[in-house]
Structure 1
Amino acid sequence: MTTEPLIPLAVPDLSGREEEYLRACIASTFVSTVGPFVPRFEEQVAAAIGSRGAVATCSGTAGLHVALTALGVGQNDLVVLPSLTFIASANAIAQCGAQPWLFDVTQESWTLDPELLERRLAADTERRPEGLFHRPSGRRIAAVMPVHTLGLPADMHAIVPVARRYGLPVVADSAAALGATCRGKPPGALGADLSVLSFNGNKTVTAGAGGAVVGDDPELLALVRHLSSTARVGQDYDHDRPGFNYRMTNLQAAVGCAQMERWESLVAAKRRIRHRYDQAFAGLEGVEPFPAPPWVEGACWFSGIVLRSPTWEGREAVLRSRLRELGIDSRPFWKPVHLQAPYRNAPCTEMPVCEELWLRVLTLPCSAGLTDAEQDRVIAALLQAFQST
């Protein structure tokens, strides 16, 4: 066991004006959902993500739920979703009373496979007057939700046209994609009807908690704002439909504004960390880097290594244990949604990529404030762990 302090996986960099802005909230007493930082934060996010507007929410999951609801997803519907994602993506669908139709991902990008999407929509669906239906289950297919995995954009250039041909709206789970580009375009300009970001504590840009729904359609964004504000009409206690209390507080937005002032440097730091890991482990036998397709520049939210098959079996957990002894935090990757208890009965495609991939991924410390000396210690520890396992 080492006597050196633990290097955590991901902690926020709060070295900007966060404290100053929080003190301003307290001094003004605007600590709830009313206050100047909320609209400022929305403007900053919309500009950075490449969208005309944004609606701040209390979490990314809440943002996904209200976005799906605004686009008409409801009881007993299906929503196309890659299985290799954090379970919150599926939970937002379930909160609509709907169910995910789970798809495999590509090895190249770990994101929704557009060829598989086109193939299964052609083979397994039929058009009825009420919409597009999934033949095996008899459920209406209400939307497609690609996920920009770890801030790496899905191939929206291929996915969005398929969705359009079948009349399906697209909600992009862009939780960690701030700063990414796909064919030179930011996530908000990739054709989705709505995109949703997360500002959770471990994200590159954080508000402590929170999310944002972004898009280009003012009427659709107005509906999202209305639904997230309890569907209140006017200043009195009149409400025109079931709504949600999903608003972001001024306190959260204050932290978010301070972070957004530095978002480009925070993303650049994440990319430098990824590059140093990739260089350090390039010659290590049995190890592959995280994906980097030529048509995207990822936001590099998390970094780490992929253990090459077939040498991976059982080794990932051993490596994590050894790294912990050396004072290095590391984590496994998301367990695919179709293997999770709440969604084992959801319709799904075959999963040759994600079922084998998730067990081989090891995430390493990648805080934006990680120093070169700390990263050198992580690299040395991993090389030592490899030699002893």
Structure 2
Amino acid sequence: MNRTALVTEVLERLKRVLPVTDRPIALHEPTFVGTEWQYVKECLDTGWVSSVGNFVDRFAAELASFTGAKYVIPTVNGTAALHTCLKLVPIEPGDEVLVPALTFIATANAVSYCGAIPHVVDSAPDTLGVDPYKLGDYLADIAEVTVEGCINRRTGRRIRALIGVHVLGHPFDVDPIQTICRRFRLDLVEDAAESLGSYYKGQHTGTFGTVAALSFNGNKTVTTGGGGAVLTNDATLAARAAHLTTVAKQPHAWRYDHDAIGYNYRMPNLNAALGLAQLENLPSLLVQKRTLAARYQAAFADLPGVEFVAEPVFAKSNYWLNALRLCDATDGVRDELLEKTHQAGILTRPLWTALHRQQTYQDCPRMALTTAEQLATEVINLPSSAHLGGSNE
């Protein structure tokens, strides 16, 4: 099938899945069908709109219950949560942190905020996350474990941690990644920004590493408008996270004494109220999203050269963003498809520009990134709002 014919066929199949509408179909937009108005109004009526209020505590408790994490510390956004996670490890200036090439740039930015260096690693084709087998071979070649930790023989710097990203909501293969982290004395930090409602072998993402970060941006399955959270099972780290995210203020009724360089990363009560209402509907949102994913998968099952990106066999995904992989496609087909879908009011997008192609990270240490580079040219994200998984009559 030539390029034009393939693009036309993909577009027609998308139209069969998606509803007929007189406005563009967004990539991902929030669904407000519950108590959002009631809870937000309560904040306005009582005046508790800022970083203190009962909705923050309730939101944290519900998140802990849903994910199985022992401790949840809400933050102002997902990047703040990830930055806090790295400070807890702790990542020190001059450390290297292993970061996948295919991720939103905030993952690497959080490393830079610590004065550390992102060390870019390759992706696995089945999960889009870190490839544990390539990574294990690579570290065996370039690193050695000493009393000071894992040392990069090429740079002389300490490799302190690995950030594993659950890309598009699909869990990465946790077991072999944990084995690598133990072997090379690395802390595992989970960037679970996209994976609320996703499970690896029955356990919720964000509960495997030393710490994890969630995001509740407006385009996530559950939104607080802007927000995030730190997850951990370590009581000491949880207390430290709560302290650092409240500008390291020592408890006192009126004094403002601070014992560390902290951050104003607290989630406002207003945002938490919105998030709590969203969490109440999360199970139904996840059902709708999986219904939509099943429709996409069925629609493209018999189209040669096009593969729906399905959840790994060991995982249950929230299908935050559905995706197609244009396998072995002729040059230019992805970009033409992006153009044609946008012209048709279907707001698709490619994956992120790979980290080592970003101007700010071109000179970072990296392994061979053959799979990540290939995926970056082949994967296209499809409209994935939960409401699209409702009736398609």
TM-score, normalized by the shorter chain, greater than 0.5 = yes
> What's the counterpart of residue 91 of structure 1?
109
The CA deviation at 1:131 is 2.4
| Residue of structure 2 in register with 1:27 after alignment | 45
- Report the counterpart of residue 242 of structure 2 in structure 1: 225
CA distance in 2, matches of 1:127, 1:160: 16
Check conservation: 1:50, 1:187, Cα contact below 8 A: no
* Paired-residue identity, %: 39
1:285 positional shift: 2.5
- 2: CA distance, partners of 1:66 / 1:8: 31
Find the residue that maps to 1:238 and give its secondary structure. coil
User: Alpha-carbon deviation of 1:286?
Assistant: 1.9
Runs of 4+ in 1 over 3 A off after TM superposition: 371-374
Deviation string 1:246-269 (CA, Å, 9 cap, x unpaired) is: 010001100000001111111111
Range with greater deviation from structure 2 (4-13 or 34-43): 4-13
- 2: CA distance between counterparts of 1:4 and 1:312? 32
What is the TM-score of this pair, normalised by structure 1?
0.93
Which residue is equivalent to 1:70?
88
**Equivalent position of 2:293 in the other structure:** 274
After TM superposition, the structure 1 = structure 2 runs for residues 3-42 of structure 1, keeping only pairs within 5 Å, are: 4-42=22-60
Q: How far apart are 1:76 and its partner, in Å?
A: 1.0
Query: Is the Cα contact below 8 Å between 1:228 and 1:244 reproduced in 2?
Result: yes
Take 1:308 and 1:130, find their aligned partners in 2: how far apart are those partners?
Answer: 44
Inter-CA distance 367–255: structure 2 relative to 1 (3 Å threshold): same
User: 1:151 corresponds to which residue?
Assistant: 169
Counterpart of 2:154 in structure 1 is: 136
- TM-score normalized by the length of structure 2: 0.92
Q: CA deviation at 1:340?
A: 0.7
Deviation digits for residues 280-337 of structure 1 (CA, Å, limit 9, x no counterpart): 111122211114221111110001311111x242111211221222221111111111
Partner of 1:186: 204
- Residue identity in the other structure for 1:298: S
Name which of 321, 339, 343 aligns with 1:325. Answer: 343
SS in 2 for 1:233: coil
Which is worse superposed, 30-39 or 289-298?
A: 289-298
Q: SS at the partner of 2:190?
A: strand
CA contact (8 A) 1:153 1:298 kept: yes
Instruction: Give distance in 2, aligned partners of 1:339 and 1:291.
Output: 26
Counterpart contact for 2:71–2:235, Cα < 8 Å = yes
> 1:372: Cα distance to partner?
5.2
- Tell me which residue corresponds to 1:263: 282
* Distance in structure 2 (CA, Å) of the matches to 1:363 and 1:342: 25
What's the offset of the Cα at 1:183? 1.1
Match of 2:324 in 1: 305
Tell me if structure 2 keeps the 8 A contact 1:274–1:304: no
Tell me, yes or no, if the aligned pair for 2:170 and 2:312 is still in contact at 8 Å: no
CA shift in 2, pair 1:110/1:21, >3 Å:
same
Cα shift at 1:349: 0.6
Deviates more, 1:289-298 or 1:89-98: 289-298
Deviations 1:129-158 (CA, angstroms, capped at 9, x unpaired): 432211111111111111111111111111
Alignment of 1:344-363 (within 5 A): 344-363=362-381
SS of alignment partner, residue 145 of structure 1: strand
- Could you tell me how far apart the structure 2 residues matched to 1:153 and 1:19 are? 33
**1:385 corresponding residue in structure 2:** none
Letter in 1 for 2:239: A
SS where residue 141 of structure 2 aligns? helix
In 1, Cα distance between equivalents of 2:362 and 2:185: 27
Counterpart of 2:99 in structure 1 is 81
Q: Is the 8 A contact 2:171 2:312 kept in 1?
A: no
Structure 1, residues 182-239: CA drift from partner, whole Å, max 9, x if none? 11111143x2111111000000011111001111111111111111110111222111
The count of aligned residue pairs is: 372
Residue 46 of structure 1: how far off its partner (Å): 1.2
Q: Is the 8 A contact 1:48 1:178 kept in 2?
A: no
Partners of 2:127 and 2:61 lie apart in 1 by 30
Quote how far apart the aligned CAs of 1:161 are.
Answer: 2.1
Q: Deviations over 1:65-94 (max 9, x none)?
A: 011001110211101111111111101111
| Contact 2:145/2:185 (<8 A) preserved | no
Query: Residues 103 and 31 from structure 1, CA distance in 2 versus in 1: closer, same or farther, beyond 3 angstroms?
Result: same
Q: Flag the 1:3–1:69 CA change in 2: closer, same or farther, 3 A.
A: closer
Comparing 289-298 with 34-43, greater Cα deviation is found at 289-298
Could you tell me how far apart the structure 1 residues matched to 2:21 and 2:235 are? 55
Residues 371 and 266 of structure 1, relative CA distance in 2, 3 Å threshold: closer
Pair 1:55-2:46 in alignment: no
The reply on whether 1:125 has 2:163 as its aligned counterpart is: no
When the two chains are superposed, the root-mean-square deviation of aligned CA atoms in Å is 1.5
Write the letter of the residue equivalent to 2:318. Answer: A
> Is 2:138 the counterpart of 1:113?
no
Q: Is the aligned partner of 1:199 residue 2:238?
A: no
**Partners of 1:192 and 1:268 in 2: CA distance:** 27
User: Cα distance, 1:3 vs. partner?
Assistant: 8.7
Q: Tell me whether 1:286 sits opposite 2:298 in the alignment.
A: no
Structure 1: state its 5+ residue gaps: 377-389
- List gaps (5 residues or longer) in structure 2: 1-19
The one-letter amino acid of 2:271's match is: Q
> Could you tell me which residue of structure 2 aligns to residue 46 of structure 1?
64
Give the C-alpha shift of residue 373 in structure 1: 6.1
Once residues 238 and 22 of structure 2 are traced to their aligned partners in structure 1, the CA distance between those partners, rounded to angstroms, is 49
Mapped partners of 1:106, 1:328: distance in 2 = 28
SS at match of 1:232: coil
Partner SS state of residue 204, structure 1: coil
Residue 22 of structure 2 aligns with an amino acid whose one-letter code is: E
